[in-house]
Amino acid sequence: MKKIIVILTGYTLFLFNTTALAQKKFDYPFQNPTLTVDERVLDVISRMTLQEKFSQLFEQAVAIDRLGIPAYTWWNEALHGVARAGRATVFPQAIGMAATFDENLMLRIGTAISDEGRAKHNFFLHNNVRSIYTGLTFWSPNINIFRDPRWGRGQETYGEDPLLTGQLAVQFIKGLQGNDPKYFKTIATAKHYAVHSGPEFSRHVDNIFVNDRDLYDTYLPAFKAAIQQGNVQSVMCAYNRFRDKPCCGSDLLLSNILRNRFGFSGYVVSDCGAISDFYTKNAHHVVETPSQAIGWSLASGTDLNCEESKAFLQDKFDSAVNAGVINEKDINISLSRLFRARFMLGLFDPEEQVPFAKISMSVVGDEKHLQLSLEAAEKSLVLLKNNGILPLKNVKKIALIGPNADNESMQLGNYNGQPIKPVTVLKALQNKLGKTNVIYTPGCAMVPGVFTNLSVINYANLFHMENGKLKNGLKAEYFSNDSLAGKADITRIDSSISFYWLKSPIHQLVEETFSARWSGVLIPTESGKYLFGGNLQLTINKQPVPVEGIALEKGKQYQLEAKLVVAPFWWANTIEPTATLSWVNTTIDYSTQALKAAAQSDVIIFCGGISPNLEGEEMPLETDGFSHGDRTHINLPGIQEELLKELQKTGKPIVYINFSGSAIALNWEAANLPAIVQAFYPGEASGTAITRLLFGQINPSGRLPVTFYKSVKDLPDFKDYKMEGRTYRYFRGMPLYEFGFGLSYTTFKYNNLKLPESIPTGSDVKLVVEVTNTGKMAGEEVVQVYTSHPGELKYAPIRTLVSFKRVFLKAGETKAVEITIKAAQLAITDDSFNQVVKAGKIMISAGGKQPDKAGIESGAIVEAAVTLAGKDFQTDK
């Protein structure tokens, strides 16, 4: 009798005959899915030559045709949506997701992203596309601690708190990897391991030292949680050195802690170029040759090398192995980890056996995912100040001002996909009130010389010569090569240059190299100095256009040529390419426009802050406040604050919405404006979420995942990694807005905190607290539980978040909220650098914010002392 197995999944129904599968003849045992993963891994490695083995240790693993092993590119991104692989649902940037304090939401977001990732991978495979960003091994989440607001990549993290970071990461990882008993849906990567958070400019040479207290209390807990609670299958080692050793060559980090102490069994991938930093003279330069570098990294436990350089493959590999510089045993260990991951993803198995192989492109940006993006955006918004102006009432005309009011890049953050239905604040307000009731102007540049209101140059300004006469549109030539060589495959007239191709314009392929050239005449309709944007190589009158812009005269003819090359290179593919030519007249008096708009309005909505074009990963930009992706101060750009001060003089109320991936010192705004909303980078539903908040269709519930300081003068040096004086746990100054802060349109009161008076050291603490919505509007409260160790323990944090929970309450409703504090959350690192639950009294508070006298007196916080009885209890580091 044949044995039939039915697997019912959330995606489709699969039936396959295991008897037939077992009897099927395979070329090699490793292709047989009825064998164990370990058996398959041993078999595939045993069949490779040494050179073939080595070729698999790079992020672009080449095909081994004689064994039927296809090529695979390990580098894929999914920080807040499937990234760099065309269109996908774009959720709020990671720092915004952290502001939700919502573990269940993170699980659902991770699940949506992995659905879209599988759908895209399936589509690409069926079109024989295996290039970068089309695979299933995602290099997310970034769980570094956002210790300093100057770090440009802090936007990618879940904030400054180890517990919040770890718990959100665990759920995101579970969503990415799925819960199938046999296969991973995708593989998540916890990065950057370890003790890594800027500066960007010096990350290839920095050598970081912190003591074990900071290491185990702050920098490692999220990685431990990702491994032990999230079962993360991949970890990325960082660029910097730690205690003299490159992180990708650190026995302490990779062997002692990661594998032996935390129990990690997956694979380690280097940050891109990190192994080259071992031998590069202007980087760490701790060895002289590529062979020494990769031999060291393999021996320490870095399994996969992300490199553009082919030096490792060309540096006398065979002799390096023979000399013991590179150890074949180390290669085999790394290969076993890498191929285990590929087998666990089902990459060698029949589609009908893999429950995720039939997920179709219909899930990408479907209504369910777009609605989830909106929910996440709404929950990420943090109301910092409100004198009663919000929600808006009886408002007919709005002056919408600011460089982020209609700036799509602000919505997205970095490491993003192309949004499905992006909605800016301008578009959302126009949809609600009508275009005539929203008076929009950017008001000013974001910073001097950086404008956000560029528009596509349209046909009214673009011409070509035809039979001696000017005709609208540009001559366009498309070539099926990357050099504009030979005869054009396509010649036509394009009215403007604004293209998003789902397939290449030459042969309608999912992936194709091509180039294009547009030529003709540009005639401005007004004089001014113009900045040009887009992704083209542009010349005017046969001269490259200066970065700072070019003066053009109204009605004058200018010879224009624009070129585009779409070709793959190390960190780019040719999937869903774009071509855009845009411009902005920078000599327009936007400030006067803003004052006129204010005069005609009932209220001013000012969308300011910064953008991922100013802060991010190792960028070339240097201007006031910004350097190479990092920030040199945390003030709001002066050009924006000056405009806000002028607008305030009009007497019209101002609602200020701040967009940023990091804390901004909004000192003047906090003192002078009636309402402030921190929006971070809220994803493609940004405008809709903000509009719903402004008009009271939702009740704000986001909480700050980072401290908002008043000045960088309150902070230690950026390169100082010691935690003293940083984050809410160790900062003894007065912040502008503290970690965990966020207002609501209603009020919440806490009563009847029930705690045992005494518990044994090493035991969990169970508490119950009553939370009442004492206002007139339903809303969600984020219950935050903190502990502190009074008095004698000078090395303990001021306070520590030990648990949090979102609770929805109708107006007037009371709920008893139960929370368990794990024993390990009560531990601190003592003078001997052991993690210990100390006997004695601790204070435990529950409320909507960090404990303070005013909160306790108002009923917004309750607290009690608990005695930890018995001997000191040492926990595992």
Q: What is the pLDDT of residues 124-170, one digit of tens each?
A: 999 999 999 999 999 999 999 999 999 999 999 999 999 999 999 99
| CATH, residue 505 | 2.60.120.380
Tell me what pLDDT residue 24 has: 74
Write the DSSP symbol of residue 133: T
> What tokens does 569 get?
């290179």
pLDDT bin (cut points 50, 70, 90) of residue 875 is confident
Tell me what pLDDT residue 876 has: 78
Q: Check pLDDT > 80 for residue 15.
A: no
Closest CA to 216 of 166, 148, 151: 166
Q: Check pLDDT > 50 for residue 4.
A: no
Instruction: Tell me, rounded to whole angstroms, the distance of Cα 197 from its chain centroid.
Output: 14
DSSP 378-447: HHH-EEEEESS--S--S---EEEESTTTT-HHHHH-SS--B-SS---HHHHHHHHH-GGGEEEE--S-SB
Instruction: Tell me, rounded to whole angstroms, the distance of Cα 170 from its chain centroid.
Output: 15
Distance CA(636)–CA(631), nearest Å, equals 11
Please identify, among 540, 564, 585, the residue that sits at the C-terminal boundary of a domain. 585
DSSP 690-708: HHHHHTTSS------SS-B
Residues 136 and 191 in one domain: yes
Q: 385 near 676, Cβ under 8 Å?
A: yes
Residues 449 and 459 in one domain: no
Please identify, among 336, 363, 390, the residue that sits at the C-terminal boundary of a domain. 363
Residues 512 and 444 in one domain: no
pLDDT bin (cut points 50, 70, 90) of residue 13 is very low
Q: What are phi and psi of 456, to 5 degrees?
A: -65, 135
- Average the pLDDT over 604-627 and give the result: 96
Distance CA(134)–CA(75), nearest Å, equals 9
Q: 750 near 770, Cβ under 8 Å?
A: yes
Q: Which alpha helices (H) appear in 233-327, and where do they start and end?
A: 251, 276-279, 290-300, 311-314, 317-322
Q: Which helix (H) or strand (E) holds 455?
A: strand 455-456
Residues 817 and 786 in one domain: yes
Residue 30 lies in a domain: no
- Average the pLDDT over 186-195 and give the result: 98
670 or 314, which is more confident:
670
Look-up of token digits 């005609």: 600
Tell me what pLDDT residue 19 has: 54
618, exposed or middle or buried, with CB in 10 Å at 0-12, 13-18, 19+?
Answer: middle
Q: 576 near 501, Cβ under 8 Å?
A: yes
Q: Pick the catalytic residue from 615, 669, 781, 863.
A: 615
pLDDT bin (cut points 50, 70, 90) of residue 795 is confident
Distance CA(48)–CA(289), nearest Å, equals 26
Three-state SS at 685: coil
Closest CA to 309 of 323, 322, 294: 294
Residue 607 lies in a domain: yes
Q: Which helix (H) or strand (E) holds 46?
A: helix 37-46
DSSP 780-825: EEEEEEEEE--TT-TTS-S-EEEEEEEEEE-TT-EEEEEEEE-GGG
115 is catalytic: no
Q: What are the residues whose beta carbons fall under 8 Å from the beta carbon of 798, sequence distance 6 or more?
A: 728, 729, 730, 731, 732, 788
Q: What are the residues whose beta carbons fall under 8 Å from the beta carbon of 493, sequence distance 6 or more?
A: 464, 471, 473, 474, 475, 476
Q: 586 near 530, Cβ under 8 Å?
A: yes
Residues 445 and 537 in one domain: no
| CATH, residue 298 | 3.20.20.300
Tell me what pLDDT residue 834 has: 86
Residue 618 lies in a domain: yes
Q: 513 near 566, Cβ under 8 Å?
A: yes
Give me the chain's average pLDDT, please: 95
Residue 635 neighbours by CB distance under 10 Å: 19
Distance CA(61)–CA(385), nearest Å, equals 52
- Average the pLDDT over 588-615 and give the result: 98
> What tokens does 517 get?
């050239």
Instruction: Tell me, rounded to whole angstroms, the distance of Cα 411 from its chain centroid.
Output: 12
| CATH, residue 596 | 3.40.50.1700
Residue 250 lies in a domain: yes
% residues pLDDT > 70 (the chain):
97
Q: Check pLDDT > 60 for residue 808.
A: yes
Tell me what pLDDT residue 21 has: 60
Residue 25 lies in a domain: no
Residue type at 502?
A: L
Tell me what pLDDT residue 7 has: 37
Tell me what pLDDT residue 832 has: 82
Residues 296 and 439 in one domain: no
Distance CA(518)–CA(520), nearest Å, equals 7
Q: Which region among 7-16, 91-100, 312-321, 774-783 has the lowest average model confidence (pLDDT)?
A: 7-16
Look-up of token digits 């299933």: 136
Closest CA to 703 of 248, 332, 384: 384
Q: Pick the catalytic residue from 116, 148, 200, 271.
A: 271
SS3 content of the chain, % helix, strand, coil (to 5): 30, 25, 45
Residue type at 83?
A: A
Residues 657 and 526 in one domain: no
Distance CA(520)–CA(762), nearest Å, equals 76
Q: Report the relative pairing of strands 398-401 and 438-441 from DSSP bridges.
A: parallel
Residue type at 822?
A: K
Residue 476 lies in a domain: yes
Residues 383 and 434 in one domain: yes
What are the Cα distances from residue 831, in Å, to 33, 794, 843? 53, 10, 21
615 is catalytic: yes
Distance CA(473)–CA(496), nearest Å, equals 6
pLDDT bin (cut points 50, 70, 90) of residue 3 is very low
Tell me what pLDDT residue 246 has: 98
Distance CA(422)–CA(413), nearest Å, equals 13
Residues 712 and 774 in one domain: no
pLDDT tens sequence across 99-120: 999 999 999 999 999 999 999 9
pLDDT tens sequence across 715-762: 999 999 999 999 999 999 999 999 999 999 999 999 999 999 999 999
What are the Cα distances from residue 427, in Å, to 433, 640, 687? 10, 22, 7
What are the Cα distances from residue 771, in Å, to 745, 753, 763? 16, 10, 25
Instruction: Tell me, rounded to whole angstroms, the distance of Cα 814 from its chain centroid.
Output: 36
> What tokens does 627 get?
């350097």
pLDDT bin (cut points 50, 70, 90) of residue 311 is confident
Which range in 96-105, 302-311, 836-845 is most confidently predicted, on average pLDDT? Answer: 96-105
CA angle 857, 861, 865 (to 5 degrees): 95
> What tokens does 605 get?
């909505």
pLDDT tens sequence across 268-292: 999 999 999 999 999 999 999 999 9
pLDDT tens sequence across 442-453: 999 999 999 999
Residue 26 lies in a domain: no
Q: Which domain holds residue 402?
A: 379-453+589-730
Distance CA(510)–CA(124), nearest Å, equals 8
| CATH, residue 863 | 2.60.40.10
Residues 803 and 780 in one domain: yes
Residues 710 and 756 in one domain: no
- Average the pLDDT over 790-818 and give the result: 92
Please identify, among 730, 760, 790, the residue that sits at the C-terminal boundary of a domain. 730
pLDDT bin (cut points 50, 70, 90) of residue 531 is very high
- Average the pLDDT over 667-683 and give the result: 98
Q: Report the relative pairing of strands 603-609 and 398-401 from DSSP bridges.
A: parallel
Residue 739 lies in a domain: no
End-to-end CA distance of the chain: 54
Q: Check pLDDT > 50 for residue 16.
A: no
Domain count of the fold of the chain: 4
pLDDT tens sequence across 358-369: 999 999 999 999
Tell me what pLDDT residue 23 has: 60
Distance CA(545)–CA(587), nearest Å, equals 17
Residues 623 and 600 in one domain: yes
